[in-house]
Amino acid sequence: MAVKEFQAESKRLLDMMVNSIYSQKEIFLRELISNASDAIDKMYYKSLTDDSISFDRDNFYIKITADQNNRLLKIEDTGIGMSEEELESNLGTIAKSGSLAFKKETEIKDGHDIIGQFGVGFYSAFMVADTVTVLTKSADSKEAFKWNSNGADGYTIEPADKKHTGTEVIIKLRENTEDENFDEFLDEHRIKTIIKKYSDFIRYPIKMDITVPKPKESTENEFEEIVEEQTVNSMVPIWRKNKSELKTEDYEAFYAEKHYGFDKPLKHLHLSVDGAVRYQAILFIPEQTPFDYYTKEFEKGLELYSNSVLIMEKSPDLLPDYFSFVKGMVDSEDLSLNISREMLQHDRQLQLIAKNIKNKIKNLLLSMVKDDRENYETFYRSFGRQLKFGVQMDFGAHKDDLKDLLLFYSSKEKKLVTLSEYISRMSENQNYIYYATGDSYDRIEKLPQTEMVLDKGYEILYLNEDIDEFAIKTLREYEGKEFKSVASGDLGFEEEEEKKSEKEEENNKELFEKMKDILGTRVKDVRASTRLKTHPVCLTAEGEVSIEMEKVLQSMPD
């Protein structure tokens, strides 16, 4: 039988698993149970569109069996199974291609980061296994196949015997070493604890044969051990549970189980809406920017369930682009199960849910701005840029939703502030919200143009990201106060000063003419200014486009 090599990226991930010193090896069970559950979901979904398959809930389950004598652990499901080709393509190559590419070599060697927080999937079995065998029969086929691998040397696939549709993953556990104990994964109580911890909400029963003591008949203190099949998980999806029963850790565990991100979420929102549209949702505000977030590759979206059955992994229509960082899921009874992608887009229910969710996210973020500033700033460092893009998007159509979520660095507070906080500090005779642009706060602070405004005691917002000024220009004003660049010709408080400079100009006419001659087309005009204190000269922009914006515009590809 020919031994096949794993595709290159799979091999890397596998090596990492085989050599893993990761302490929480137990998560391999979470991964395999999650695959089993996915496979049953697919079977259920198929039964809805295929009359030849009937979905009898009782026939769908996951069963975990430990065989102490042979050091075998079996994870069995009655899901959709795999054909020979699927075995080849699903287990020989990494589904989420590129998932490793973004990680630095050093991180891969350590492995800790990836294994702990990222969906490593099927290969995680190799953290505990000498060999892994997959026996499977596809719902579309009468033949069964066996996939076998010890990790390092590749894998084999051969025909096999299996009666029922579904999959068995059989793990031959490694022998214990001085430092590591693998026996624990044969201990039924330990296994039960792991399942409870990570997979409690899986919607299908996870069954186990558990040995329980039972009083012997007609005796009082004598017990015998009997084996009893138990369902170990509660099967209630977390979003159907009562909020009061759940702790932050439960939501964090769900976030990790679902592979929503590598990080710990900063905030979660558990919604149970029962109005014109009915739905449940769990939404997360991540802490860190996903590696591909600001690239074309990033796909936004929420998981979409209809009556607890997953119908779409990433429904983009549920999230506006400016909230594309939100992770999570939505479950609605009002959605039809076999609705197509195209139909979903125009589905009125879905549109209502999307609108509702948008407002909930906005309010959550607003409440963070107010009451949880530290976390909000962490969030803002990761995703503030996207909010500013949002202001600009669609010709400013969303600016009212976003304007109170923006933070800018304040000359006065020396930290990030909201526009409303700025306004609240404005003195009566201040007419504008002043801002200055530059590469860094330090450099902005030293700009000659800021001098006069600061001297007046006015606060200046320091904009150091290229997108900032575009966002400000789109906003135009906040609560009736217009934005004004400190570099603009008219700072709005110069009437009496202007007269002074006109006089200066008269007196120095010849000098200015000469300077204009020398500078030629590089300047539009040379004028006397009263806005400078310690600097001899400054450049100002005349029109709508500031010097900083001009730089950005010039650096843009055509």
Residues marked as binding for ATP?
Answer: 31, 35, 77, 82, 90, 96-98, 117-122, 167, 341
Residue 265 lies near Mg ion (rule: CB under 5 A): no
Report the candidate in 204, 224, 364, 341 with the shortest Cα–Cα distance to residue 283: 364
Binder among 77, 257, 317, 466 for ligand ADP (CB under 6 A): 77
- Cα separations (Å) of 398 from 316, 353, 355, 403? 18, 18, 13, 9
79, 81, 121, 448: residue in contact with Mg ion (rule CB under 5 A): 121
Q: Which does 397 bind (CB under 5 to 8 A by kind): Mg ion, ligand ADP, none?
A: none
> Residue 463 is encoded by which pair of tokens?
């904009």
**Residues near 483 by beta carbon (within 8 Å), at least 6 away in sequence:** 432, 433, 434, 435, 472, 473, 475, 476, 477
Return the one option of Mg ion, ligand ADP, none that residue 438 interacts with (CB less than 5 to 8 A, by type). Answer: none
Binding track over 71-110 against Mg ion, x by CB under 5 A:
----------------------------------------
Beta-carbon count within 10 A of 533 CB: 10
User: Which residue type, as a one-letter code, is found at position 441?
Assistant: Y
CA 71-73-76 angle, 5° bins: 155
Which of ligand ADP, Mg ion, none has residue 77 at its interface (CB below 5 to 8 Å by kind)? ligand ADP
Residue ranges in 204-223 that form contacts with ligand ADP under rule CB under 6 A:
none
Tell me the closest approach of the beta carbon of residue 5 to ligand ADP, in angstroms. 18
Structure tokens of 18? Answer: 């085989």
Element (H, E) at 216: none
- Of 17 and 326, which CB lies nearer to ligand ADP in the complex structure? 17
Write the single-letter amino acid at 126. Answer: F
Q: How far apart are CA 213 and CA 225, in angstroms?
A: 4
Spell out, one character per residue from 78 to 97, where the chain touches ligand ADP: x when CB under 6 A holds, - when not.
-xxxx-------xx---x--
Give least dist CB 174 to ligand ADP, A: 20
Number of residues that bind Mg ion (CB under 5 A): 2
Q: How far is the CB of 321 from ligand ADP (least distance, A)?
A: 25
Cα–Cα distance measured from residue 170 to residue 133, given in angstroms and rounded to the nearest whole number: 5
Question: Rule CB under 6 A: is residue 167 a binding residue for ligand ADP?
Answer: yes
Binding mask 19-38 for Mg ion (x = CB under 5 A): ----------------x---
C-beta of 167: minimal distance to ligand ADP in Å? 4
Give every CB contact of residue 267 below 8 A, 6+ residues apart in sequence.
Answer: 284, 285, 364, 368, 372, 375, 379
Encoded tokens for 44: 């259920």
Distance CA 10, CA 95 (A): 9
Q: At its nearest, how many Å lie between Mg ion and the CB of residue 311?
A: 18
Residue 90 touches which member of ligand ADP, Mg ion, none, C-beta under 5-8 Å by kind: ligand ADP
Instruction: Give the x-and-dash track for 120-159 against ligand ADP (CB under 6 A).
Output: -xx-------------------------------------
Task: For 138-277, list the strands marked E by DSSP.
Answer: 144-149, 155-160, 166-173, 206-215, 223-231, 267-274
CB of 233 to ligand ADP, least distance (A): 16
Coarse DSSP helix, strand, coil percentages of the chain, rounded to the nearest 5 percent: 40, 20, 40
Stretch that binds ligand ADP, among 33-41, 284-292, 418-426, 505-513 (CB under 6 A): 33-41
For the bound state, the minimum distance from the C-beta of residue 260 to ligand ADP, rounded and expressed in Å, comes to: 13
- The answer to whether 138 touches 80, Cβ cutoff 8 Å, is yes
Structure letter (DSSP) for residue 29: H
The binding site for ligand ADP (CB under 6 A) comprises: 31, 35-36, 38-39, 77, 79-82, 90-91, 95, 119, 121-122, 167
